């Protein structure tokens, strides 16, 4: 009997040496387990044991794993895979993030540079009013910058507001240079008349159109890049299915249970596992390719009036043209302003002095060509560099599983490899392709269907691709709604109201009530407000007669028949003026 037990113990030791390759039994497994920080070391057995309780890493031989270790190994396999995904995408993510920051920085630099060029034009050619115009110029470029970076602003309105604020300066310094500084009330009337008499011709509409057109393209690029980062972040943290997690455990750590800590999976085996786990991600491939190509096509179109850099650095040229148009139209504008606002009202105590504009003899001193920026700093060069880098990732999602196996996971050709059960010379089962449909025949991973989160990403990519290709450009808003400042709607539009309008709450005199589009050949947009002003005969305008009270940006104008005269009070303070019926 003693001889029998001696032989039995020797046989067990020999078997352990064959399987685990070391008389130290599970010591090597313990070292790797600790090194990779997989779990508490107490979970490891001191020596090989039967693995009857294991669910995935099953074997007929002795094993260095317990059921608790198997759970920890599964967690480690998922962690390792997500780390691989994040490492593989890090260059792509850095490329996009860096250029988002670069584009935004260039936008801000362009704003400052365009504002400086505009102020330089005013100082060189229109110095008498340059200081007073600096505020409106600063406000214009601040608003344009906010629009380009995503704020919901009406570009038509902000551009028109800019020219509204400039007209009193242009009128008193260029059209009527001898009147000096006009009174605040009269300046307000002149400002309010801007949209009626259009002193700057087509320039305000032209500038707004160029800002919108170029801004839409620039904002779409930024929106697309932010979506690109979202796609990467989402796929980096892909929620792996239960079947995938078990397959990853079997591929990465089940050989450890048999003491094979240095083993690598066979290439075919690795491809089946990773293509199964990343099947939903591979569905992004076609839409990601279209995303890259759509960005390339849009970038190619961003030239001239569709290039925001070209537009911004040309604002001062359009402003010079607008001032020239106003000067050439001086007699007409003087007549119309006099008709609407009466004789010029100067600031108290100011005498008439002939104050000629500095334009004559100096307007050619400043080059009116759009400035050329250093090529290395231009948006066009940055876009080109970005797209050159992005092309390298054109097939990223379609080839991700293959790339991970070839560069990180699988065994080299000719070496023994792990096939999920044993160490072998080669993997003999069928290797499936990429994508969900191909996984029906996958022998290693069962794929039930598309991942919901990935499907949502694909929908977002489809939408941005349509926007980039110009197939689905909304009419209103920013990014999702591109604001075009529509003024083509007819009729009444409800606005804020007060108690007198039949609405709840108290209303101050500065609240715009309603907007009426006058449908005539020379129709104009006017604002209607109930205010407490009187005719010169003392008659108060009543609620019932409010449709006869016309307000233009804070100025009330009353049409009571040809030659009528009225006393006018602005919302900000009083100024009296006579008015004929201008409708």
| Average pLDDT of the segment spanning 304-316 | 89
The helix (H) or strand (E) run that includes residue 431 is none
pLDDT of residue 411: 85
pLDDT of residue 346: 67
Helix (H, G, I), strand (E, B) or coil at 415: coil
The helix (H) or strand (E) run that includes residue 573 is strand 573-574
* Structural tokens at position 181: 């500084």
> Pairing state of beta strands 417-418 and 62-63?
unpaired
Q: What is the mean pLDDT of the chain?
A: 76
The helix (H) or strand (E) run that includes residue 215 is helix 203-236
Q: How confident is the model at residue 473 (pLDDT cuts 50, 70, 90)?
A: low
pLDDT of residue 555: 36
Say what percent of the chain tops pLDDT 90.
51
Residues 200 and 323: their CA atoms lie apart, in Å, by 7
pLDDT of residue 89: 96
| Average pLDDT of the segment spanning 152-173 | 93
Higher pLDDT, 329 or 494: 329
Q: Give pLDDT tens digits for 496-543.
A: 333 333 333 333 333 333 333 333 333 333 333 333 333 233 333 333
* Structural tokens at position 48: 């090989």
Residues 532 and 543: their CA atoms lie apart, in Å, by 10
Q: How confident is the model at residue 379 (pLDDT cuts 50, 70, 90)?
A: confident
Q: How confident is the model at residue 218 (pLDDT cuts 50, 70, 90)?
A: confident
pLDDT of residue 415: 84
Higher pLDDT, 573 or 466: 466
pLDDT of residue 483: 31
pLDDT of residue 348: 57
* Structural tokens at position 37: 């920080």
Residues 173 and 203: their CA atoms lie apart, in Å, by 19
* 229-242 CB burial, b ≥16 within 10 A, e <16: eebbebbbebebbe
Residues 370 and 314: their CA atoms lie apart, in Å, by 5
- Residue whose entry in the numeric block shows the structure tokens 């940055």: 382
pLDDT of residue 569: 33
How many CB atoms are closer than 10 A to CB 315? 24
Say what percent of the chain tops pLDDT 70.
70
pLDDT of residue 151: 84
The distance in angstroms from the start CA to the end CA of the chain is: 125
Question: Does residue 210 surpass a pLDDT of 90?
Answer: yes
Q: Give pLDDT tens digits for 418-444.
A: 999 999 999 999 999 999 999 999 999
pLDDT of residue 133: 93
Question: Does residue 234 surpass a pLDDT of 70?
Answer: yes
| Average pLDDT of the segment spanning 537-555 | 34
Which range is least confidently modeled, 117-121, 302-306, 509-513?
509-513
pLDDT of residue 347: 61
Higher pLDDT, 475 or 298: 298
Residues 55 and 398: their CA atoms lie apart, in Å, by 32
């Amino acid at each position: 009997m003693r001889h029998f037990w001696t032989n039995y113990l020797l046989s067990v030791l020999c078997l352990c040496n064959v399987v685990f390759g070391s008389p130290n039994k599970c010591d090597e497994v313990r070292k790797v387990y600790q090194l990779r920080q997989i779990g508490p070391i107490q979970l490891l057995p001191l020596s090989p044991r039967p693995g009857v309780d294991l669910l995935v890493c099953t074997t007929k031989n002795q094993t260095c794993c317990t059921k608790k270790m198997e759970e920890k190994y599964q967690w480690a396999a998922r962690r390792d895979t997500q780390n691989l995904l994040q490492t593989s995408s890090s260059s792509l993510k850095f490329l996009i993030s860096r250029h988002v920051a670069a584009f935004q920085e260039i936008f801000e630099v362009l704003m400052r540079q365009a504002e400086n060029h505009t102020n330089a034009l005013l100082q060189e050619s229109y110095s008498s009013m340059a200081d007073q115009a600096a505020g409106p110029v600063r406000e214009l470029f601040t608003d344009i910058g906010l629009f380009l970076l995503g704020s919901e602003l009406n570009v038509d309105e902000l551009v028109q507001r800019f020219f509204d604020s400039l007209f009193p300066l242009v009128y008193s310094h260029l059209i009527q240079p001898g009147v000096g500084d006009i009174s605040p009330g009269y300046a307000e009337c002149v400002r309010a008349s801007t949209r009626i008499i259009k002193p700057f011709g087509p320039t305000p509409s032209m500038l707004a159109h160029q800002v919108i057109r170029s801004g839409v393209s620039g904002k779409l690029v930024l929106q697309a890049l932010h979506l690109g980062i979202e796609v990467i972040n989402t796929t980096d943290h892909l929620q792996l299915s239960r079947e995938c997690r078990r397959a990853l455990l079997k591929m990465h750590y089940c050989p450890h249970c048999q003491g094979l800590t240095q083993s690598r999976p066979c290439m075919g085996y690795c491809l089946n596992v990773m293509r199964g786990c990343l099947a939903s991600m591979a569905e992004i491939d076609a839409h990601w390719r279209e995303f890259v190509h759509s960005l390339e096509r849009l970038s190619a179109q961003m030239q001239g009036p569709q290039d925001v850099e070209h537009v911004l650095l040309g604002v001062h040229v359009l402003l010079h043209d607008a001032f020239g148009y106003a000067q050439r139209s001086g007699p007409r504008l003087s007549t119309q302003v006099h008709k609407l606002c009466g004789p010029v009202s100067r600031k108290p105590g100011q005498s008439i002095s002939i104050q000629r504009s500095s334009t004559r003899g100096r307007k050619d001193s400043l080059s009116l060509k759009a400035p050329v920026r250093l090529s290395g700093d231009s948006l066009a060069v940055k876009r080109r560099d970005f797209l050159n880098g992005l092309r390298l990732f054109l097939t990223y999602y379609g080839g991700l599983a293959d790339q991970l196996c070839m560069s990180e996971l699988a065994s080299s050709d000719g070496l023994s490899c792990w096939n999920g059960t044993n160490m072998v010379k080669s993997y003999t089962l069928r290797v499936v392709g990429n994508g969900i449909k191909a996984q029906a025949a996958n022998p290693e991973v069962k794929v039930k269907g598309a991942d919901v989160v990935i499907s949502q990403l694909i929908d977002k990519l489809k939408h941005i691709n349509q926007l980039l290709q110009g197939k689905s450009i909304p009419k209103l808003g920013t990014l999702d709604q591109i604001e075009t400042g529509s003024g083509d709607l007819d009729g009444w539009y409800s606005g804020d109201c007060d108690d007198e309008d039949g609405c709840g709450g108290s209303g101050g005199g500065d609240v715009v009530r309603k907007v009426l589009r006058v449908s005539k050949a020379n129709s104009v947009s006017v604002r209607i407000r109930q205010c407490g002003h009187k005719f010169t005969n003392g008659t108060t305008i009543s609620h019932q007669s409010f449709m006869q009270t016309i307000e233009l940006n804070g100025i009330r104008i009353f049409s009571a028949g040809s030659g009528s005269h009225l006393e006018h009070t602005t919302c900000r303070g009083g100024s009296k003026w006579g008015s004929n019926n201008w409708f």
